[in-house]
Amino acid sequence: MIKVRKSDIPKEFKKYPVILYGAGFAGKHCKKLLDGAGVRSAYFVDDDETKQGKNIEGVLVKSYIDLKEYCKGHERVNIILTSIYGMQISGRLEEIPNIILYEMYQWLSETAIPERTGKNIYSEEEIRDFKEHTEELEKYLCDEESKKVFHNLFQYLKTGDGGYIAEVCSREEQYFIKEVMEYFSRVQRDIAIIDAGAYEGELVRAILEKEMHVKEWYCFELEKRNYEKLLLNAKENSFEGKQVCINKGLWDRRATLQVQGEGVFSRAVEGIGVEGNVDMISIDEYFKDLHIDMIKMDIEGAEMKALLGGMKTIKRDRPVLAISIYHSIKDFYEILQLFLAELSNYRYYVRQHSMIFTETVLYAIPQ
Asked whether residue 51 falls in the same domain as residue 195, the answer is no
In DSSP terms, 366 is beta-bridged to 346
pLDDT by residue for the chain (367 residues), tens only, comes to 899 998 899 998 988 889 999 999 999 999 999 999 999 999 999 998 889 999 999 999 999 999 999 998 888 899 999 999 999 899 889 889 889 999 999 999 999 989 889 888 999 999 999 999 999 999 999 999 999 999 999 999 999 999 999 999 999 999 999 999 999 999 888 999 999 999 999 999 999 999 999 999 999 999 999 999 999 999 988 888 899 999 999 999 999 998 888 777 888 888 765 457 899 999 999 999 999 999 999 999 999 999 999 999 999 999 999 999 999 999 999 999 999 999 999 999 999 999 999 999 999 999 9
Q: Are 80 and 154 in a shared domain?
A: no
Q: Are 102 and 2 in contact (CB under 8 A)?
A: yes
Does residue 267 share a domain with residue 206? yes
Q: Which residues of 202-239 are buried (b: 16+ CB within 10 A; e: fewer)?
A: bbbbbbeeeebebebbbbbbbbeebbebbbebbeebeb
- Residue 326: Cβ within 10 Å count: 21
Look at residue 203 and tell me if it is in a domain.
Answer: yes
pLDDT score of 275: 56
Q: Give the per-residue pLDDT at 94.
A: 87
| Residue 96 shares a structural domain with residue 166 | no
Asked if the structure places residue 125 within a domain, the reply is: no
Decide: 363 and 146 in contact? Cβ < 8 Å: no
130 occurs within a structural domain: no
Give the span between the Cα atoms of 206 and 12, in whole angstroms.
34
User: In the prediction, which pLDDT does 183 show?
Assistant: 97
The kind and range of the H/E element at 243 are strand 243-246
Domain boundary pick from 71, 94, 112: 112
Q: Which of 78, 112, 146 is the last residue of a domain?
A: 112
Q: Does some domain include residue 60?
A: yes
Same domain, 53 and 199: no
Q: Where residue 105 sits, what CATH number does that domain have? A: 3.40.50.720
Together in a domain, 197 and 340: yes
Shared domain check, 340 and 265: yes
pLDDT score recorded for residue 272: 61
Look at residue 307 and give its three-state secondary structure. Answer: helix
In a domain, residue 75? The reply is yes
Asked if residue 120 belongs to a domain, the reply is no
Report the chain's terminal Cα–Cα distance, integer Å: 39
Burial class (CB in 10 A: 0-12, 13-18, 19+), 337: middle
Are residues 339 and 241 part of one domain? yes
What is the number of domains present in the chain?
2
Q: Which residue range forms the structural domain that includes residue 255?
A: 138-366
* Integer CA distances (angstroms), 24 to 84, 162, 196, 199, 334, in order: 9, 21, 18, 11, 30
146 and 255 assigned to the same domain: yes
**Residues 191 and 86 reside in one and the same domain:** no
How far apart are the C-alpha atoms of 352 and 367, rounded to whole Å? 23
166 and 285 belong to one structural domain: yes
Residue 119 domain-assigned (yes or no): no
Q: 164 with 61, same domain?
A: no
Asked if residue 124 is part of any domain, the answer here is: no
H-run or E-run covering 324: strand 320-324
